[in-house]
C-alpha cells in the first residue's frame, strides 16, 4: 500500500511539472517581443512544422504515459509478490525459473536482481571529474600540431641543422664529458635468446669481468637481466664474486634492471611491472643493488607509463632514444632535450622524473659523439682497417698514437662541443656502443685503450677546457645535478616540464613505425593469454593461468600457513612459477611482443566437476561455456541448485554441424578471486536446458547443410531483408546481404544509432620502400574488402546469448549479445578469426562507423594504464595517424562515447568523423630494411577478441536526481519544438578517463574466467568446495594487479 501511494504521488508530481512547463512554454511564446512583431507575417510552412512537432510531442507523451503505467504495474506486482518477505532475491533463486520472451521479443532472465556492484557515488570520482589543467611547459599534443614535419636537409646532420660555437665558451667552466660504453643485447630478434647467448652474450660477460678489472677508470652499463642471470648461473663463485665487486665498486652499473628492455607501445602495464620486479628482485637477491637510472635506447617510441613506473620504483633519472626525428630537431633547437617528464593527469610535480633524450638518428657510435656521423665513425675503433665492419662514409678510424693524438683529440672534441650546444648544462653524455658489441676481447682493447689516450691528452691540456672520462649513466646524471646545484631527481633551474608520449616514431622521411603495432597478432594475443593463462612446466608448456596462478598460489600458501599445512606447497612449484614469470618477461621485449580462444573444457561422459576461478577482485556475473557429448545436460551449483543452460550446436565448418558434440553455456555469479564448483551430468529431466534456434542465411550460395536432432536449424537461401538480434539493452541490426552490423537501437532511450562494421584492405607501395615488420607504408587509402563468394551467415538465438557469425573467405566475424545482468550484458562482443595466408602484401583492417561527431579527435590507451588524446593530422601521411591500442580506443561527442575494447595489442586510428579503425593482420613479403632481414610470411589463423561499449556521457558536473532528470527532459522537449540545438562541443579537459563501466569491461575482457575440469571424486577424498578468500569485494575503484609470492632463505 505504501508503494501504491508513492507511485500516485510521483505520478501527480510529474503531471504538475508537465502542466507548469507547458504554461511556461506558452508564456514564452506569447511574451516574446520578436514573435509579436512577426505575428502577422508568420510563414505557413513554419506553422505546419510546428503542428507536426506538436503531434509528435503528443505521441511521445502517450508513450510516456504507457511507460508510467507499466512502472506502476511492476511496482504493484513487486508489492504483491513481496508478501512482506523483504530482502532481495538471492543468486540461488534462479533454480526453478525459466527464461521467457516479452512482447518485443527480448529474452528475460529471472536472475539475481540485487543492486549492481558497479554503483559509485559522484564524490568518489572527483579526480577524474576535476578539471586539472596541465602545468607542464611542453605538451606533446600541442607540439605535434605546431611542427611542420618538413624534413629539410640539415647538412652533415641530415635531420637537424648546422651547429656553431665560440671556442671561449668553456673558459670559465670546462666541459665535463662522460663516455658511456654499452652493449645492447636483444633477447631474441634475428636469433633466439639461447642462440644469442651462446654466440655472443656470454663472451661479453666473460670479457667484461676481465677487462674492467684491468683499469679502475673503465666503466660499463648493462640493462638486460635475463642474459645476466643466465651467465651468472653458469659460472663459478670466483667469477661471480669478481663481477659483484665491479658492480658494487661502481665500474659496472645495472641500468633499468628489468628482465628485458620492454616495449612501450604494445606491452600491458602488468607485464611491464612484472618483468621489472623480476629483474630487480634478482639483482637484490644475488648482487645486493637496486637500479636508479633508466636506459631505453631501442623501444620504438616511448610511453609516459614507463616513466611513471620508474618514478614509482624510486628512479631519479631516465634516458630515451627512439623519438620522431622532427621532434628531436625541435627539442634540439629549443634546448629541451632534457626535461622533467610529468604525467598528463598529475596536478603537481609528484610524478616528475628527469629524462634525457638522445638527439641524433641512432644509439650506435657514428650517431652519438656529435652531429657529423662520418667523423664519429672514425672513433669507433672496432672498425679499424682489417676488421669485419667498416665506416660507410669511406673514412676509416685510425689507431691513436703519440703522433696523431693531438689532431684526433681536437677533431673529436669539436663534435663533443657541438653536441653540448644542444643541451642546457656543460655536462655531456656520449654513449659508446651498439648491438651485441664487446663480444671479442680485441674490441675491449681497441675501444678502451684508444679512448684513454684521447682522454689523457685532453685532460692534460688545460687550454682545451675539458674533463673527459669513462662513466656510467648515473655518473652523468649525478654530475648534471651537481652542476645545477640540485638533489638527485630534482628539477634543475630553467629546465622544462613535459607531458604526453612519443608515438608515432619515424626514423627518416615518412617511414613511420606503426606497422609493428599489429605485426604477428597471433603472438600479441598469445602474450595477453600468457599474462593471464600461462605457467611454464618444463619440458612442455601447460596452459594453466599465469597471473591467476600468481594470485591462487599466494592465496593458497597464506591459507595453508594459517592451517599449518604450508609444507604441501613444495619449492618446485615456486620454481615453476618463477620460470613462468621470466618467460612472460622475455615476451615483453620490444622485438618479441611487437611481432617483430578455446572452449573451457570437454565433458565426455558421466558426472564431471567444473572448478571455475574468477581472477579479478570483483564479483562478476558471466557466461561459462563448456563442450559436452550429450544434449541431455544438467548443471548444478555446489548446493544442488539447477542453473539455466543454453544448448547450442558445435560446428566443424560454416555449414556442417558436429554430430558428436554440443556447446553448453550457463550463467554464474562468481565471488571475487574465488573458486566455484559446478556439477555437469547427463539428465533426462533437464527442464532448464533450452535449445538455441539457428538460421543459416545462404543467399547466393548453393549449399545444403545437414540437420541433426535435437537442435532446430532453418535455412534461408533467398531472403535478403535486414535482420536483428537483441537483449534487454540493445537491438542490433544487420545487413541482409553482407551479414555485417549496420546499426544499434538503445532500448533504454529507444534511440537508433549508426554502428556499421566493414572490412578493408591496405596494399603496400610499389616503390623501393615497402611495408615490413616495423614500417607501415600503404599504397593509399584502404579499399573495401571484396569476397570471391557471398558470405555464409549463421544466426543463433537463445535465452542466454544470441549471435551472428559471418563466414568470408579470409575472416569470420562473430557478433554476440549476452542476456545477462552486469557488465557483460552492457556491451557487444566482437570476435574475428583472420586467415590471410594466401595474400601478398596485404593488410586487413576492420572499421566501425558511427553517428558520433568526433571532430578529428580520438583516444587510445597507453599500456592499459592511461588514456592519451589524439588528433588526426592532415599534414602527416596516413600511416603517421595510427597509434598503439593495447586495450582500448574511443571517440566521443557531447552525447555519447563509443569505446572499442581489445584483448590484444593492435594498431588503431580514426581517419574520419565518427570512425574507429583497427588493423587485424599483415602479410608482407619483404624486409623493410630495419635489421630483421625478412618479411611477415609466417601468418597463422588468428583470433582477435573485442567488445564495443556505447555510453551516454555528460560534459560537466550536472545535478543528479529525479527533478534534475525531469528538467533535462523538458529542456530537450523545448529544444526539439523550437529547433534549438542541444549539441555541445567536445569538452576541453586536458585528459580523459575511461568510465567505471568501461574499466570493468576492459578488465573482464582481459582477465577471463578460468574453467578447470575435475574427475569424479574417489572414495576417501574430501569433496570439492567453493573458495571465497575475500570477506567482500574490493571497492570498485581499486584494482588488485597481482599477489606475488617472494622467496626468502626460509622458503616463501
pLDDT in tens, 830-854: 999 999 999 999 999 999 999 999 9
**Domain CATH code at residue 291:** 3.20.110.10
- pLDDT score of 181 more than 90: yes
- Are residues 618 and 698 both part of a single domain? yes
Residue 938 pLDDT exceeds 80: yes
Same domain, 265 and 384: yes
CA 646/CA 665 separation, integer angstroms: 5
At residue 586, the pLDDT reads: 43
DSSP string, 567-600: GGS-HHHHHHHHHHHHHHHHHTBTTTTT-----S
User: Are 120 and 995 in contact, with CB atoms under 8 Å apart?
Assistant: no
Q: Is residue 1043 part of a domain?
A: no
Q: Return the pLDDT at 767.
A: 83
Write down the number of H helices and E strands in the chain. Answer: 21, 44
Element (H, E) at 694: strand 693-697
Residue 467 has pLDDT above 60, yes or no: yes
Same domain, 615 and 559: no
- Mean pLDDT, to the nearest integer, of 471-478? 98
Three-class secondary structure of residue 343 per DSSP: coil
Q: Can you read off the three cell numbers belonging to residue 220?
A: 660499463
Q: What is the mean pLDDT of residues 197-207?
A: 97
Of 25-34, 360-369, 925-934, where does the model show the most confidence? 360-369
* Whole-angstrom distance, CA of residue 622 vs CA of residue 117: 14
294 and 184 assigned to the same domain: yes
Number of other residues whose CB lies within 10 A of the CB of residue 1034 = 15
Identify the pLDDT of residue 325: 97
Query: What's residue 539's pLDDT?
Result: 28
pLDDT above 90 covers a percentage of the chain that reads: 59
Q: Give the SS3 label for residue 123.
A: helix
pTM, full prediction: 0.83
626 falls within a domain? yes
Nearest-angstrom CA–CA distance, 775 and 769: 9
β-partners of residue 670 are 620
- Please indicate whether residue 149 or residue 3 has the higher confidence score (pLDDT): 149
Do 636 and 592 lie in one domain? The reply is: no
| CA distance readout (Å), 532 to 543, 545, 602, 1010 | 10, 5, 21, 9
Residue where a domain stops, chosen among 596, 625, 650? 596
- 484-530 pLDDT, tens digit per residue, is 999 999 999 999 999 999 999 999 999 999 998 898 765 666 555 55
Is the domain of 362 the same as that of 214?
A: yes
Q: Note whether residue 981 is domain-resident.
A: no
- Mean pLDDT lowest among 477-481, 718-722, 799-803: 718-722
Amino acid 987: pLDDT: 53
Strands (E) across 129-216 are located at: 138-139, 175-184
**Nearest CA to 862 among 313, 344, 393?**
344
Contacts of 1043 (CB under 8 A, 6+ apart): 550, 551, 554, 555
Same domain (yes/no): 301, 384? yes
Q: Is 172 helix (H, G, I), strand (E, B) or coil?
A: coil
pLDDT at position 245, please?
A: 98
Residues 544-581: b if buried by 16+ CB within 10 A, e if exposed:
bbbbbbbbbbbbbbeeeeeeeeeeebeeebbebbbebb
State whether 561 and 672 are in the same domain. no
SS3 (DSSP) at 1051: strand
C-alpha cell at 691: 535449445
Q: Are 174 and 465 in contact (CB under 8 A)?
A: yes
pLDDT of residue 150: 92
Report whether pLDDT(1016) > 90: no
The reported pLDDT for the residue numbered 931 is 85
Q: Give φ, ψ of 91 to 5 degrees.
A: -65, -30
Residue 27 vs residue 909, higher pLDDT: 909
Residues 273, 359 share a domain: yes
Which cell numbers hold the place of 399? 689507431
The predicted structure's pLDDT at residue 831: 97
- The answer to whether residue 591 is domain-embedded is yes
Strand 540-542 relative to strand 535-537: parallel, antiparallel, unpaired?
antiparallel
CA distance to 30, 50, 504, 948, per residue, from 974 (Å): 15, 12, 46, 32
Q: Does pLDDT of 1004 surpass 90?
A: yes
**Rounded (5°) CA angle 176-182-185:** 155
Beta strand residue intervals within 523-582, DSSP E: 535-537, 540-542
With respect to residue 128, please indicate whether it lies within any of the assigned structural domains. no
With cell 566437476, the residue in question is 609
Cell of 886: 593495447
Q: Which H or E element spans position 70?
A: helix 44-82
> What are the cell numbers at 605?
561422459
pLDDT band at 963 (very low <50, low <70, confident <90, very high): very low
* 125 within domain boundaries: no
Quick one: which H or E segment has residue 68?
Answer: helix 44-82
Task: Kindly indicate the confidence band of residue 71, based on its pLDDT and cuts at 50, 70 and 90.
Answer: very low
State which of 553, 577, 596 marks the end of a domain: 596
Q: What are phi and psi of 344, to 5 degrees?
A: -60, -30
Is residue 730 within 8 Å of residue 744, measured between CB atoms? yes
Verify that 560 and 702 share a domain, yes or no. Answer: no
pLDDT digits (tens, 9 = 90+) for 280-321: 999 999 999 999 999 999 999 999 999 999 999 999 999 999
Count how many domains the chain has. 4
Q: At what angle do helices 571-587 and 269-286 cross, to 10 degrees?
A: 120
For residues 162-177, give the mean pLDDT. 96
Name every residue whose Cβ is closer than 8 Å to that of residue 357 and which is 6 or more positions away in sequence: 319, 320, 321, 323, 328, 331, 337, 338, 339
Asked if residue 557 and residue 617 are part of one domain, the reply reads: no
How far, in Å, CA of 259 to CA of 397, rounded? 35
Phi/psi of residue 242, nearest 5 degrees:
-65, -40
Find the range with the poorest average confidence among 274-278, 647-651, 717-721, 979-983: 979-983
* CB atoms inside a 10 Å sphere around CB 2: 7
Read off the C-alpha cell for 305: 607509463
Q: Are 615 and 817 in contact (CB under 8 A)?
A: no
Q: Provide the 3-class DSSP secondary structure of residue 134.
A: coil
In contact, 727 and 106? CB cutoff 8 Å: yes
263 in Cβ contact with 886 (< 8 Å): no
Region of residue 145 (phi > 0: left; psi between -120 and 50: alpha; otherwise: beta): alpha
All three cell numbers of 23: 504554461
Burial of 39 (0-12, 13-18, 19+ CB in 10 A): exposed
Kindly report the average pLDDT of the chain as a whole number: 82
pLDDT at 801 over 50: yes
Contact of 924 with 773, CB cutoff 8 Å: yes
Q: In what order do the strands lie in the sheet with 633-636?
A: 633-636, 675-682, 608-613, 1010-1014
Sign of CA dihedral 1015, 1021, 1027, 1029: negative
List, for residues 103-159, the tens digit of each pLDDT value: 445 455 555 434 344 444 554 455 655 555 557 999 999 999 999 999 999 999 999
Instruction: Tell me which residue range forms the domain holding 524.
Output: 518-596
Q: Look at residue 601 and tell me whether its pLDDT is greater than 50.
A: no
The better pLDDT of the pair 34, 934 is held by 934
Cell of 1047: 622467496
Residues 795 and 831 in one domain: yes
Q: Where are the beta strands (DSSP E) in 728-878?
A: 730-734, 741-746, 751-762, 783-784, 792-797, 801-807, 811-818, 828-834, 842-850, 857-862, 866-871
Domain limit, last residue, from 569, 596, 623 = 596
Instruction: Indicate the helix (H) or strand (E) that contains 973.
Output: helix 962-978
Most confident stretch, 38-42, 65-69, 488-492: 488-492
3-state helix, strand, coil in the chain (%, to 5): 30, 25, 45
DSSP reduced 3-state for 682: strand
Q: Where does residue 493 rank: exposed (0-12), middle (13-18), buried (19+ CB within 10 A)?
A: exposed
Mean pLDDT lowest among 138-147, 419-428, 543-552? 543-552
User: Distance between CA atoms of 916 and 852, rounded to whole angstroms?
Assistant: 11
- Answer yes or no: are the C-beta atoms of 991 and 345 closer than 8 Å: yes
Q: Is residue 965 part of a domain?
A: no
C-alpha grid cell, residue 326: 622532427
- Catalytically annotated residues: 298
Provide, rounded to the nearest whole percent, the portion of the chain with pLDDT above 70.
74
- Closest Cα partner for 868 from 921, 908, 829, 896? 908
Q: Is 898 exposed, middle or buried (0-12, 13-18, 19+ CB in 10 A)?
A: buried
The answer to whether residue 827 sits within a structural domain is yes
The rounded distance, in Å, linking the Cα atoms of 753 and 316 is: 50
Amino acid at each position: 500500500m505504501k508503494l501504491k501511494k508513492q507511485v500516485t504521488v510521483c505520478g501527480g508530481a510529474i503531471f504538475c511539472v508537465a502542466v507548469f512547463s507547458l504554461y511556461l512554454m506558452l508564456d514564452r511564446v506569447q511574451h516574446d517581443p520578436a514573435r509579436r512583431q512577426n505575428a502577422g507575417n508568420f510563414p505557413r510552412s513554419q506553422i505546419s512544422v510546428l503542428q507536426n512537432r506538436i503531434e509528435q510531442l503528443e505521441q511521445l507523451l502517450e508513450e510516456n504515459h504507457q511507460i508510467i503505467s507499466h512502472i506502476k504495474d511492476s511496482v504493484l506486482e513487486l508489492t504483491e509478490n513481496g508478501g512482506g518477505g523483504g530482502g532481495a532475491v538471492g543468486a540461488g533463486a534462479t533454480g526453478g525459473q525459466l527464461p521467457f520472451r516479452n512482447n518485443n521479443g527480448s529474452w528475460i532472465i529471472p536472475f539475481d536482481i540485487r543492486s549492481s556492484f558497479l554503483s559509485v557515488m559522484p564524490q568518489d570520482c572527483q579526480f577524474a571529474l576535476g578539471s586539472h589543467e596541465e602545468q607542464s611547459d611542453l605538451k606533446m599534443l600541442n607540439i605535434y600540431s605546431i611542427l611542420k614535419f618538413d624534413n629539410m636537409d640539415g647538412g652533415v646532420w641530415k635531420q637537424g641543422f648546422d651547429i656553431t660555437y665560440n671556442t671561449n665558451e668553456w673558459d670559465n667552466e670546462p666541459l665535463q664529458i662522460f663516455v658511456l660504453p654499452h652493449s645492447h643485447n636483444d633477447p631474441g630478434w634475428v636469433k633466439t635468446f639461447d642462440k644469442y647467448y651462446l654466440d655472443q652474450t656470454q663472451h661479453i660477460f666473460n670479457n667484461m669481468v676481465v677487462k674492467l678489472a684491468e683499469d679502475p677508470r673503465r666503466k660499463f652499463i648493462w640493462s638486460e637481466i635475463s642474459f645476466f642471470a643466465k651467465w651468472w648461473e653458469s659460472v663459478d663463485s670466483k667469477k661471480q664474486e669478481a663481477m659483484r665487486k665491479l658492480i658494487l665498486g661502481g665500474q659496472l652499473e645495472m641500468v633499468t634492471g628489468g628482465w628485458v628492455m620492454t616495449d612501450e607501445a604494445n606491452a600491458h602495464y602488468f607485464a611491464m611491472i612484472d618483468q621489472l620486479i623480476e629483474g630487480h628482485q634478482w639483482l637484490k637477491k644475488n648482487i645486493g643493488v637496486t637500479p636508479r637510472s633508466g636506459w631505453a635506447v631501442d623501444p620504438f617510441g616511448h610511453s609516459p607509463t614507463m616513466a611513471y613506473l620508474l618514478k614509482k620504483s624510486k628512479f631519479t633519472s631516465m634516458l630515451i632514444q627512439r623519438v620522431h626525428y622532427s621532434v628531436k630537431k625541435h627539442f634540439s633547437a629549443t634546448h629541451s632535450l632534457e626535461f622533467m617528464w610529468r604525467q598528463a593527469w598529475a596536478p603537481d610535480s609528484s610524478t616528475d622524473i628527469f629524462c634525457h633524450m638522445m638527439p641524433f638518428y641512432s644509439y650506435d657510435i657514428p650517431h652519438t659523439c656529435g652531429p657529423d656521423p662520418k667523423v664519429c665513425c672514425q672513433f669507433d675503433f672496432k672498425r679499424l682497417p682489417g676488421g669485419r665492419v667498416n665506416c660507410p662514409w669511406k673514412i676509416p678510424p685510425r689507431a691513436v698514437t703519440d703522433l696523431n693524438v693531438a689532431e684526433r683529440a681536437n677533431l673529436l672534441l669539436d663534435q663533443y662541443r657541438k653536441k653540448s650546444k644542444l643541451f642546457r648544462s656543460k655536462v655531456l653524455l656520449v654513449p659508446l656502443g651498439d648491438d651485441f658489441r664487446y663480444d671479442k676481447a680485441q674490441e675491449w682493447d681497441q675501444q678502451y685503450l684508444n679512448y684513454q689516450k684521447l682522454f689523457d691528452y685532453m685532460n692534460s691540456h688545460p687550454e682545451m677546457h675539458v674533463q673527459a672520462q669513462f662513466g656510467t649513466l648515473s655518473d652523468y646524471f649525478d654530475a648534471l645535478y651537481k652542476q645545477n646545484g640540485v638533489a638527485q631527481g630534482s628539477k634543475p633551474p630553467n629546465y622544462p616540464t613535459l607531458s604526453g608520449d612519443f608515438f608515432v616514431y619515424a626514423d627518416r622521411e615518412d617511414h613511420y613505425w606503426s606497422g609493428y603495432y599489429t605485426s604477428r597478432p597471433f603472438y600479441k594475443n598469445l602474450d595477453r593469454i600468457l599474462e593471464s593463462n600461462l605457467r611454464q612446466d618444463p619440458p612442455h608448456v601447460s596452459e594453466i593461468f599465469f597471473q591467476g596462478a600468481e594470485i591462487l598460489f599466494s592465496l593458497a600458501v597464506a591459507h595453508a600457513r594459517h592451517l599449518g599445512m604450508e609444507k604441501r606447497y613444495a619449492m618446485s612449484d615456486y620454481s615453476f612459477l618463477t620460470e613462468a614469470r621470466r618467460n612472460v618477461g622475455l615476451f615483453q621485449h620490444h622485438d618479441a611482443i611487437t611481432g617483430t580462444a578455446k572452449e573451457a573444457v570437454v565433458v565426455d561422459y558421466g558426472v564431471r566437476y567444473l572448478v571455475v576461478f574468477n581472477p579479478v577482485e570483483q564479483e562478476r556475473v558471466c557466461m561459462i561455456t563448456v563442450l559436452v557429448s550429450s544434449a541431455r545436460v544438467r548443471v548444478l551449483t555446489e548446493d544442488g541448485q539447477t542453473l539455466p543452460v543454453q544448448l547450442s550446436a558445435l560446428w566443424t565448418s560454416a555449414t556442417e554441424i558436429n554430430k558428436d558434440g554440443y556447446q553448453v553455456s550457463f550463467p554464474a555469479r562468481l565471488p571475487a578471486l574465488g573458486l566455484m564448483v559446478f556439477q555437469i551430468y547427463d539428465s533426462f529431466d533437464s527442464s532448464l536446458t533450452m535449445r538455441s534456434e539457428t538460421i543459416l542465411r545462404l543467399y547466393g550460395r548453393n549449399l545444403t547443410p545437414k540437420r541433426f536432432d535435437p537442435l532446430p536449424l532453418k535455412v534461408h537461401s533467398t531472403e535478403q531483408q535486414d535482420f536483428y538480434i537483441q537483449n534487454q539493452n540493445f537491438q542490433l541490426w544487420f545487413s541482409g546481404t553482407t551479414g555485417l552490423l549496420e546499426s544499434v537501437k538503445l532500448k533504454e532511450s529507444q534511440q537508433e544509432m549508426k554502428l556499421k562494421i566493414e572490412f578493408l584492405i591496405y596494399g603496400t607501395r610499389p616503390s623501393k620502400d615497402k611495408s615490413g615488420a616495423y614500417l607501415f607504408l600503404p599504397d593509399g587509402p584502404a579499399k573495401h574488402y571484396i569476397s570471391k563468394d557471398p558470405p555464409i551467415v549463421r544466426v543463433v538465438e537463445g535465452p542466454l546469448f544470441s549471435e551472428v557469425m559471418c563466414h568470408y573467405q579470409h575472416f569470420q566475424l562473430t557478433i554476440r549479445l549476452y542476456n545477462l545482468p552486469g557488465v557483460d550484458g552492457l556491451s557487444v562482443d566482437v570476435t574475428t578469426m583472420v586467415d590471410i595466408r594466401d595474400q601478398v602484401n596485404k593488410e586487413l583492417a576492420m572499421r566501425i562507423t558511427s553517428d558520433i561527431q568526433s571532430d578529428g579527435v580520438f583516444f587510445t590507451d597507453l599500456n592499459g594504464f592511461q588514456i592519451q588524446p589524439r588528433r588526426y593530422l592532415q599534414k602527416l601521411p596516413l600511416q603517421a595517424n595510427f597509434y598503439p591500442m593495447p586495450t582500448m580506443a574511443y571517440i566521443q561527442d557531447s552525447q555519447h562515447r563509443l569505446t572499442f575494447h581489445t584483448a590484444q595489442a593492435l594498431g588503431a586510428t580514426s581517419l574520419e568523423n565518427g570512425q574507429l579503425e583497427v588493423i587485424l593482420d599483415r602479410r608482407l613479403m619483404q624486409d623493410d630494411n630495419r635489421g630483421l632481414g625478412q618479411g611477415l610470411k609466417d601468418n597463422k589463423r588468428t583470433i582477435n577478441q573485442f567488445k564495443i561499449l556505447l555510453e551516454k556521457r555528460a560534459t560537466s558536473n550536472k545535478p543528479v536526481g529525479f527533478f534534475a532528470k525531469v528538467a533535462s527532459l523538458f529542456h530537450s522537449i523545448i529544444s526539439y519544438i523550437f529547433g534549438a540545438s542541444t549539441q555541445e562541443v567536445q569538452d576541453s579537459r586536458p585528459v580523459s578517463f575511461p568510465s567505471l563501466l568501461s574499466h570493468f569491461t576492459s578488465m573482464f575482457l582481459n582477465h577471463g574466467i578460468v574453467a578447470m575440469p575435475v574427475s569424479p571424486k574417489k572414495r576417501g577424498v574430501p569433496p570439492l568446495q567453493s573458495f571465497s578468500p575475500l570477506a567482500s569485494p574490493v571497492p570498485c575503484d581499486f584494482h588488485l594487479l597481482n599477489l606475488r609470492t617472494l622467496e626468502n632463505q626460509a622458503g616463501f
